[in-house]
Amino acid sequence: MDSLYVLIPIAILFVVVAVAIFFWAVRSDQFEDLERQGMNILLDDDKKPNKPNDDEPHP
């Protein structure tokens, strides 16, 4: 029973911190453009790594 006196304030503190972080994220426009990051992976250019040409002699 004594542990509840410690765990309940810790749980309340976690909730307050989570709500504060959520409101900070909303105020700093973290949720403004949700589609861009999802589209970036689809529209990413496929860049091939430079590999040596087999026709050229190796030093």
Cβ contact 8:2 at 8 Å = no
Q: Which domain holds residue 13?
A: 2-42
pLDDT at 47 over 70: no
3-state helix, strand, coil in the chain (%, to 5): 55, 0, 45
Question: Cα 47 from chain centroid?
Answer: 24
In-domain check, residue 51: no
User: What local confidence, expressed as pLDDT, does residue 14 receive?
Assistant: 98
In-domain check, residue 38: yes
pLDDT at 55 over 70: no
pLDDT at 2 over 90: no
In-domain check, residue 37: yes
In-domain check, residue 27: yes
In-domain check, residue 48: no
Question: To 10 degrees, the CA torsion angle through 10, 16, 22, 23?
Answer: -160
Give the residue-averaged pLDDT of 33-57: 69
Query: How many domains in the chain?
Result: 1
pTM: 0.54
